[in-house]
Amino acid sequence: MKTKLKKKDDVKIFILYLMRNVGYPMDFATLNDMVLQDEFVDYFSFAECFGELVDVGNIEQRGISDEGTKLYVITERGNTVAETLESNIMGYIRDRSLKSAMRMLNFKLRGSEIKCESTPREDGRYDLKCTIIEDRKTTMELNIVIDNPYTLERMKLNFDNRPEVVYRGILALLSGEMNYIIG
């Protein structure tokens, strides 16, 4: 079972820790994706704690993105809090989440386009096509037949929410770096 951060103070420290280590302005949606992707924090806890961090001056809005969304940064006060209290968060949560956040941001910065489409088949199953496009070139295309709508929706949601994880997982399996899964 996955460990979840339940205490509001832990969630706030976690948000500040990630922002401090990323080190540049991000919009709310990117921050949300970054904090939630490893499922240590749920959306409602993130949204509530983020608002409180803004209210007390640990995070501030600074600038607008090219798309017109507000950009947020960690303040000097927030940096001090994160630096002082980051050890309160379990090491493996810090390490795993920071690695995941950096991968996700790298994926977004490269301007990757993500597509996930499904079509029903005559036999009652579904075709699922997941595609990643970078610089107008397809870097990954995965086609798979899925037996039921529940599994189809789970796979589509997972790919849409974490395409970089799916992509790296496929590369690791194909390159033999994860042979322990196969047996």
Q: What count of other Cβ atoms lies within 10 Å of the Cβ of residue 30?
A: 19
Residue-level pLDDT at 54 = 97
- The H-assigned helical ranges of 86-140 are 91-109
Q: Mean per-residue pLDDT for 99-114?
A: 74
Indicate the number of domains in the chain. Answer: 2
CB 100 within 8 A of CB 92: no
Residues present in the chain in total: 183
Indicate if 103 and 118 belong to the same structural domain: no
Tell me the pLDDT band of 1, cut-offs 50, 70 and 90.
Answer: very low
Query: Do 117 and 98 reside in the same domain of the chain?
Result: no
Note whether 17 and 51 are same-domain residues: yes
> Which domain covers residue 120, as residue numbers?
113-182
More confident residue, 60 or 92: 60
The pLDDT tens digits of the residues spanning 7-40 come to 899 999 999 999 998 888 999 988 998 888 778 8
Closest by alpha carbon to 159, among 126, 118, 130, 117?
130
Q: Do residue 21 and residue 62 come from a single domain? A: yes
153 contact partners, CB below 8 Å, separation of at least 6:
none
pLDDT at 107 over 90: no
What confidence score (pLDDT) does residue 112 get?
77
Quick check: is 71 in a domain?
yes
Based on the fold, state whether residues 85 and 22 are members of the same structural domain: yes
DSSP conformation letters of 46-98:
HHHHHHHHHHTTSEEEEEE-TTS-EEEEE-HHHHHHHHHHGGGS-HHHHHHHH
Nearest to 35 by CA among 112, 93, 106: 93
What percent of the chain shows pLDDT beyond 70?
93
Q: Are residues 69 and 27 in contact, defined by beta-carbon separation less than 8 angstroms?
A: yes
Do residues 95 and 45 share a domain?
yes
Specify whether the CB–CB gap between 175 and 168 falls below 8 A: no
CATH number of the domain that residue 82 is part of = 1.10.10.10
Strands (E), 101-157: 113-120, 126-134, 137-146
Q: Which of 46-55, 59-68, 79-88 has the highest mean pLDDT?
A: 46-55
Summarize pLDDT for 124-151 with one digit per residue, the tens: 999 999 998 887 889 899 999 999 999 9
- SS3 label, residue 135: coil
For the chain, helix, strand, coil in percent to 5 are 55, 20, 25
Question: Is this model's pTM higher than 0.85 or not?
Answer: no
pLDDT in tens, 77-96: 999 998 888 777 777 777 77
In a domain, 2, yes or no: no
Does 134 reside within a domain?
Answer: yes
**Is residue 97 domain-shared with residue 130, that is, in the same domain?**
no
Q: Is residue 160 over pLDDT 50?
A: yes
